Amino acid sequence: MRQIFLDTETTGLEATLGHRIIEIAALEMLDRKLTGSYFHRYLNPGRESDIGALKIHGLTSAFLEDKEKFGDIAQELLEFIDGAELVIHNAPFDVNFLNHELGLIKLQSLNQYCHSITDTLNMAKELYPGKKNNLNALCERYQIDNSRRTLHGALLDAELLVDVYIAMTRGQENLLIETEILSSASHSVDNQNGLQLTLLKADIKELELHAQQLEMIQHESKNHCLWKRLENS
Q: Whose CA is closest to 122, among 160, 85, 91?
A: 91
Which of 57, 119, 61 is closest to 87 using CA atoms?
119
In terms of Cα–Cα distance, which of 106, 111, 120 is closest to 84?
111
- The helix/strand/coil state of 136 is helix
The Cα–Cα gap between 229 and 159 comes to 23
Look up 152 and say whether it is catalytic.
yes
Residue type, 30: L
Which is catalytic among the residues 40, 152, 187, 219?
A: 152
- Cβ pair 231, 215 in contact under 8 A: no
Question: How many of the other CB atoms lie within 10 Å of CB of 38?
Answer: 16
Angle at 111 between CA 54 and CA 68, to 5 degrees: 40
Could you give the CA distance from residue 225 to residue 215 in angstroms, rounded to a whole number? Answer: 9
What residues act catalytically?
Answer: 152
